Amino acid sequence: MVDENVLRDKAKEILSSGEVRRLIGWKRGTYGYEAAPCVITDASQADDLIFDATCVQNPASFITLEEKLPVPRGQQPDTRKIAVMVKGCDSRAVVQHLVEKAYIRDDVVILGIPCRGVIDRRKAEKIFGEAPQPVLAVAEKDGVVIRVNGEEKKVSREEILADKCLRCRYPNPVISDYPLGDEVEKWADDDFSDVSEFEKESPEEKWAFWEEEFSKCIRCYACRNVCPMCYCVECIVTKLKPQWTRRSTDLSENTVYHIQRAWHLAGRCIECMECQRVCPMDIPIMTLNRKLTKDVKELFDYEPGVDAEAQPLLASYNPQDPEEYIM
């Protein structure tokens, strides 16, 4: 875990050195169980920065969310770096960006923060009810100390941590320029049992499940926008010529949208679970991504977002790839 003062001092140092144009981190929100991501440009704002178990958002998403307008004639574009604070899972997004050459290593300054897990708003609301005041939470080895509505309580990790944290394989950032705080011990592993369980169902059962889930979708595209790996300038779902999927919301178009979204993350998803967290209709979107993650691992022994020197999965091949399904 990291001392917030260390974090702020480092942020101040980086910002005042003038080498970065913006720093992405978290600050305290104005309500509820989640912190707010923030983008700061000046050392004077660094005192807002925090890190605790409410920092659920993935700051790596905001690296590619930066919008660059055409530079007026006679002016030079700002080519300074972007600094970004990352947890273990977030750091994998940065690695995957580098694999895909979304930007180069010299464009980013990475402040790596070891993390003991973040809380899940939905789980917390079931335990403590709504929180009109911003919540403070610290994940410890044996539980989470959480301060809701003025009262401090301790709950077990299983009860309140996000699902991704309960099977976290990378609690420490896999890439960083400035590692902040002491590394934490890995406490969990991922056996993909939820995916294997679902695989056993018949096609009819699977479809009955997805039919219900997909028909809830309102196509707000929050899952796409929040995804650190969804950074195309023009997205396939909004293209009109050709129109891959129609804008109308019905089971057919929603299904195709979700297949497209999951497909475009095949071998790229770094499992930050942001898509599922943001969904206002509680669609278990990650179930699709995790299926692909599992298959990619089993079939091609590939794990995205770990090695910055790796080749992107679908832009490479191995002549020995499995072909059991091919006649």
Partner 1 sequence: MSNDFEPNIIGFLCNWCSYAGADLAGTSRTHYLPNVKIIRVMCSGRVNPLFIVNALQQGADGVLISGCHPGDCHYLEGNYFARRRFVLMHKLLEHVGVDPRRVQMSWVSASEGAKFKDVVEKIVSDVKEAGPMDQFRRRQLNW
Partner 2 sequence: MGDYKILKEKVPDFIKALDKFEVFAPVKKGDTVRFEKIDDPSRATLDFSNTNVPPKELMFPETETLFRYRVVSTEIEPKVPSDEEKRVVLGIRPCDAMAFSIVDRLFGWDFPDPYYQKRRENSILVGLACAEPCSNCFCTSLGGGPANEEPLDAILYDLGEFYYLKTITDKSEAFVSSAGDALESAGDSERAQATELAGSAEKKIKRTIKTEGIPEKLPSLYDHEFWTQYSNRCLGCGICTFLCPTCHCFDIQDEIEAFDGRRARMWDTCMFAEYTLHASGHNPRPTRKERTRNRISHKYSYFPTKFGVIACVGCGRCINFCPVNIDIIDVLQKSKEV
- At position 115, the amino acid (one-letter code) is C
Q: For residue 262, which of 303, 290, 228 has the smallest C-alpha distance?
A: 290
Identify the H or E element spanning 255: helix 251-263
Q: Which two tokens stand for residue 30?
A: 């104005």
Q: For residue 271, which of 92, 130, 101 has the smallest C-alpha distance?
A: 92
Q: Which is nearer to partner 2, 31 or 207 (CB)?
A: 31
- Residue 251 within binding range of partner 1, rule CB under 8 A: yes
What character string, x for contact with partner 1 (CB under 8 A) and - otherwise, covers 212-231? --------------------
User: Which member of 85, 119, 275, 288 binds partner 1 (CB under 8 A)?
Assistant: 288
- Residue 80 within binding range of partner 2, rule CB under 8 A: no
CB within 8 Å of 123: residues ≥ 6 apart = 159, 160, 161, 162
- Residue 237 within binding range of partner 1, rule CB under 8 A: no
Measured from the Cβ of residue 53, the count of other Cβ atoms closer than 10 Å reads 28
CB 226 within 8 A of CB 274: yes
Could you tell which of partner 1, partner 2, none binds residue 251, using a CB distance below 5 to 8 A set by kind?
A: partner 1
Question: Least CB distance from residue 57 to partner 2, whole Å?
Answer: 6
- Residue 36 within binding range of partner 2, rule CB under 8 A: yes
Stated length of the chain: 327
Stretch that binds partner 1, among 46-54, 144-152, 227-235, 248-256 (CB under 8 A): 248-256
Stretch that binds partner 2, among 61-69, 78-86, 257-265, 291-299 (CB under 8 A): 61-69
d(CA 138, CA 87): 14
- Residue 31 within binding range of partner 2, rule CB under 8 A: yes
- Residue 299 within binding range of partner 1, rule CB under 8 A: yes
- Residue 199 within binding range of partner 1, rule CB under 8 A: yes
The separation between the first and the last C-alpha atoms of the chain, rounded to the nearest angstrom, is: 53
Question: Residue 319, exposed/middle/buried by CB under 10 A (0-12, 13-18, 19+)?
Answer: exposed
Question: Residue 254, exposed/middle/buried by CB under 10 A (0-12, 13-18, 19+)?
Answer: buried
User: Which member of 21, 147, 153, 219 binds partner 2 (CB under 8 A)?
Assistant: 219
Cα–Cα distances (Å) from 31 to 135, 173, 198, 261, 316, in that order, read 7, 28, 36, 31, 46
What character string, x for contact with partner 2 (CB under 8 A) and - otherwise, covers 225-264? xx-----------x-------xxxxx--------------
Question: Residue 149, exposed/middle/buried by CB under 10 A (0-12, 13-18, 19+)?
Answer: exposed
- Residue 205 within binding range of partner 2, rule CB under 8 A: no
- Residue 66 within binding range of partner 1, rule CB under 8 A: no
Q: Interface residues with partner 2 (CB under 8 A)?
A: 29-32, 34-39, 57, 61-62, 65, 67, 69, 122, 130-132, 212, 216, 218-222, 224-226, 238, 246-250, 274, 277-278, 280-282
Q: Interface residues with partner 1 (CB under 8 A)?
A: 198-199, 203-211, 236, 244, 250-253, 255-256, 258-260, 262-263, 266-267, 287-288, 291-292, 295-296, 299-300, 313-315, 317-319, 321-323, 325-327
